[in-house]
Chains A and B, each alone.
Chain A
Amino acid sequence: MRLFFAALRRSHDPLALLLVALVVGVSGWILAMPACRPIQAATLERFHLRTPSYWGWAAQQPIPSMYNFENRYWWFAGPAPEAYRGTAPLFADGQSIETRVVNHFPGRLLTFGDGRYRLLGNGESCHLVLRSRYRGQELATVWNAKASPRGGFDLSRATVVDE
C-alpha cells in the first residue's frame, strides 16, 4: 500500500484513485451487508430479479456474490400452491415436486441454458417457488413460465405472502 501511494506521488493517476475508491466502496457495501437490512433486502431482491428498477439491479451486478445465501427452489407442474408454511409451499398429496438448494440467483433454473432446457424443453408451462435466506431475512417469489401462443414462454413473478 505504501509503495502504491509512493508511486502515485511520482505520477499523477486519477484513474487509479478512482479504481481504489470503487473497490473500497464495493467492499464497504459487502462488509455492511451482515448488519444492514436494507442491503440484505436489496441483494435478496437482486437474486430474485425483483429490484424495482432494472438499472438499479444492473448497477449491483458487478458486486461479487458467488455462493451467497441459502437459495432453495421448488419446481412443480400444475397449479401454483395456494398455501404456504412460512415461505415453504404446501403441495397436494402426490404432486410431483423437485426441491434443491442452488448456489446463487435461483431464477437461473429458468433463465440459464441448462435449466431452461430441462424445465421448459417439453413446451409446458411450469412454476418455480424461490426462497433465499440470509441472517433471518428471507424473500420468496413465485416464478410462472406460461407457454405462449407466439412460441416460447412468458415469465411473470409474484410475491409469496408469509401466512
Chain B
Amino acid sequence: MNAIAVYRTVSGLMLLSLLWKMTVFAIFFRVYATIPLRDSFFPAPLQSNTLLAICYLTIVGLGVGTYATRSWRFLQLQSIVSCVSLFVLCIHQGSYNDVTFVTAWWTSLWCAWFARRAAVDDYATLMAKGSFLAQIMLAMILLGGGVGKWTSEYWSGEVLYEIYFRDRDFWVFNLLRGWASEEMLRWIATWYSRGVVIVESGCFVALWCLPRRVASILAVVVFTSIALFSNFSLFSVLFSAIGLATVGLFPTEATKTLAAKRGAGLQPAILPHGSAG
C-alpha cells in the first residue's frame, strides 16, 4: 500500500460527494440564471452564477485529474485549489446552506496537508499523523451536528418528526407510517431523535479516544447509517467524511513489495500495525 492510494481514496470519495447531486446542481444553476435574487448581504461576486460554476467545475476537473498523475506537486496544487474553491462554495449565495461543501472543505484541507507531507515523510509517519488528523476532523464534524441538537425541540423528537416522520417520502418513514399509529410514530420519532443526538455527541469522544482502525470502522458505520436511515441525498455530505474515515483502515506500514523495492536502507520507519492514532 502506498500514499498515493490513500490520497486517491480520500480525494475520490470527495469527488463522489460533489457528483452525487450533480443533476440537482445543474438544475439549480438554471434556476439562479432565470430567477436572480439580489441580496446586499453578499458581495456581488459571491452572488455570481459564473463564479459558482467555475468553482464547482474546477474541483471536479482537478479531482478527476488525480487519477491521471502520481506527481505530488500536482496533487498539492489540486488540493489547495480545491480547498479555496470549496471555501467559495461555502460562502456563496447559491450554495452556502449545503453542508456538502463544508465536509468537502475539511476533507480538502486534510488532502492539502497530506499531499504536502507525502513528499517529506516516510509512509509510517505520514499515516500515523494522517489517521489521527482525519479522526479528530470527523469527531468535530459529528460534534457540530450533535451539540446543535442539545435543545428540547430535538430531545422531544418534534423537529425530526416534522422533517422526516410526518410526510417524507423515504423507505424508512413510509414503512413506519404504514405500520405505526400516530401516537406510536411520535414515540419512535422521539427515540430516533434522541438516538441521533447521543450517537453524534458520543462519537466525538469515541473518535478522539479509540484506536484508529476501530474509530474508522465506527465512523464509516455511523456516516453510512445516517444516509441509509434518513435520506440518500445526505451521501453528498457524507462521502467526503467516509473518505476521511477510510484513512484509518489503511495499513500503517508500506506493503512488503514496496518496501522491498525501496531496499533495506530506505525502508520507512515502522509503527505497530493497527495501533492507535
What residues make up the interface of A, taking CB atoms closer than 8 Å to B?
1-4, 6-8, 10-11, 13, 15-16, 19-20, 23-24, 26-27, 30-31, 33-34, 43, 49, 54, 57-58, 61-70, 100-105, 107-108, 110-114, 116-117, 120-121, 133-135, 145, 148, 151-157
Contact = CB atoms under 8 A, between A and B. Distances in A.
Those 6 A-B pairs whose CB atoms lie nearest each other, nearest first: A68-B148, A113-B28, A64-B144, A152-B36, A70-B153, A105-B97
A35 B37 CA distance: 36
Interface in B33-91: 35-43, 87, 90-91
B169 interface: no
Chain B: interface size category: 35 or more
12 contacts: A3-B276, A26-B144, A43-B148, A101-B163, A111-B39, A111-B97, A112-B97, A121-B35, A134-B148, A134-B151, A155-B37, A157-B41
B27 interface: yes
A27 B271 contact: no
Contacts of B120: 11
Instruction: Identify which of A49, A112, A121 gathers the most chain B CB atoms within 10 Å of its CB.
Output: A112
B96 A7 contact: no
Given A31-B147, A66-B145, A103-B163, 12 more contacts: A2-B276, A3-B277, A16-B113, A26-B144, A49-B39, A54-B42, A66-B237, A67-B145, A101-B162, A113-B24, A145-B37, A154-B38
A147 to B, nearest CB: 10
B189 to A, nearest CB: 12
B254 interface: no
A111 B102 contact: no
B151 A153 contact: no
B37 A116 contact: yes
B203 to A, nearest CB: 12
B39 A155 contact: yes
A42 B173 CA distance: 34
A153 B33 CA distance: 12
Contact of A135 (B109, B150, B159): B150
Instruction: Identify which of A49, A58, A69 gathers the most chain B CB atoms within 10 Å of its CB.
Output: A58
B206 interface: no
Contact of B113 (A15, A49, A68, A104): A15
A57 B133 CA distance: 26
Nearest to B110: A19
Given A70-B153, A112-B94, A135-B150, A6 B128 contact: yes
A23 B128 contact: no
B136 to A, nearest CB: 5
B129 A4 contact: yes
Instruction: Identify which of A7, A101, A117 gathers the most chain B CB atoms within 10 Å of its CB.
Output: A7
B140 A116 contact: no
Given A58-B91, A105-B97, A154-B38, A23 B136 contact: yes
A157 to B, nearest CB: 8
A4 B277 contact: yes
Contact of A108 (B97, B110, B117, B152): B97
A4 B121 contact: no
B239 interface: no
A11 B268 CA distance: 13
Instruction: Identify which of B28, B41, B204 gathers the most chain A CB atoms within 10 Å of its CB.
Output: B41
B91 A4 contact: no
Given A26-B140, A30-B144, A66-B237, A116 B275 contact: no
B182 interface: no
Contacts of B213: none
